Amino acid sequence: MRAASTTEPGRLWIIGTVVAVLVVAFGAVTAWEVSDRAAAADDVVSRSQPLSADAASIYRSLADADTAAASGFLAGGQEPLDVRKRYDTDIATASRLLVKAAANSTGSAESAQQIATLNEQLPLYNGLIEQARANNRQGFPVGGAYLRFANQKMSASLLPAAQKLYEAETGRLYDDYDQADTWPYAATVLGLVALGGLVWVQRRNYLRTNRVFNHGLLAATAASTVVMLWLVVGHAVASSDLSASRAHGQESLKVLNDARISSLQARANENLTLVARGAVLTSDGKDQYEAQFAREMSTLGDKLGAAKDLADDTAGRTPVTEAKADMDAWQQRHTAARKTDDSGDYDGALSQVLAAKGSTGECFDKVDRQLDAAIAHEQHQFTTAASDGRGALTGLPVGAAVLAVLAAAGAGVGVSRRLAEYR
């Protein structure tokens, strides 16, 4: 190397080799870093976000099953068929999604632990509900105790485990977001160095030979420039789309799922207030279920306000606005039902809570439908933006590798033409 560097042909050979290595390294690192980010973007769309959505659906199904069980109990010994079907559907949905989560939540000890807890506790909860139904059909007051115990198991074991599963899967989703959004610094630096080297070689060639263009080096520069622009623009577009899917899709979905869960828990507590009839009290002597209802409704109002702020179009804001109006009507009807119950008219209060028309149950159903519509819209927003972000990186790893090889070949041809002049 030292001997070669003392002659112009030797120097040209060294320069050509270094430039070719830089260009190949640029293409290889670009392919590696972009492949890593493309895989993370693909995970966002096809793995982690669906798992996070499934975890939210598990929570929602469990909460809805608890609500349906309490509604069916309040209806008396002859549980309405639609309420029973709703409960059975919720339990079947939660069981199916737990199997799916167990198969796909690989590598997460937290998720595995919560799935094990849910699989263990769900049959016990279902057994308590069946005990409550059997006693209720026979008119035994102990049925209410079974129902309250089942609700306690749901509140103390099942829902916390489902919440932790949701948080674990959502955390993995955000990790994938961060990995996909990280700028490819190594590829960018190598690209700038390779382009700088190519420009320097051509300037050196011009100063020594007074030739403006070297076709091989010019082709190498053009190919490297294409890779650099593709890298910068492609990653910027992908990052923008993924950020949009996170801000206007996933964040909205998280808030809307929380709102829906709060509405379900509020409804369950409203029903249990009539089931318990003051048998379960807080430390300060107030009805525990009524106090929990008030807390969940307050949380619901906060989440609906946050969801409205996050919605970025009319289609997203409209169902949230309507849900807030239905929630306000729900609270008004609940207050009236509590006054009726406190005055001693239990049957009247029961009608105000369970009737098909003019009841709190009607308002709850409207809130649930509006939230379902809002969630479907935001899920579509997420899928569209995240898929666009993933698509912006498609083909870049292979394209970068191919163009880098062509650029290295061009640099070699260009330097070889100069070397041939010395023979």
Strand partners, 287: 281
Pick out the chain residues at pLDDT < 50: none
CA distance 404 to 407: 5
Q: Angle at CA 36, nearest 5°, toward 34 and 39?
A: 105
251-276 and 360-391 helices cross at what angle (nearest 10)? 160
Contact status, residue 61 vs residue 29, Cβ threshold 8 Å: no
Strand partners, 315: none
Burial class (CB in 10 A: 0-12, 13-18, 19+), 319: buried
CA distance 153 to 166: 19
Residue 285 vs residues 97, 155, 279, 344: alpha-carbon distances, Å: 40, 20, 10, 19
What global pTM score does this model have? 0.79
Q: What is the pLDDT, as a whole number, of residue 73?
A: 85
Q: What is the pLDDT, as a whole number, of residue 419?
A: 63
Contact status, residue 68 vs residue 81, Cβ threshold 8 Å: no
CA distance 117 to 268: 22
Cα 118 → chain centroid: 21
SS3 content of the chain, % helix, strand, coil (to 5): 85, 0, 15
Q: What is the pLDDT, as a whole number, of residue 16?
A: 78
Q: What is the pLDDT, as a whole number, of residue 141?
A: 81
Q: What is the pLDDT, as a whole number, of residue 212?
A: 65
CA distance 88 to 96: 12
CA distance 342 to 277: 10
Could you write out the DSSP letters of every residue in 181-216? HS--HHHHHHHHHHHHHHHHHHHHHHHHH--S--HH
Q: What is the pLDDT, as a whole number, of residue 192?
A: 93
Structure tokens at 193: 């160095």
8-43 and 360-391 helices cross at what angle (nearest 10)? 160
DSSP 283: T
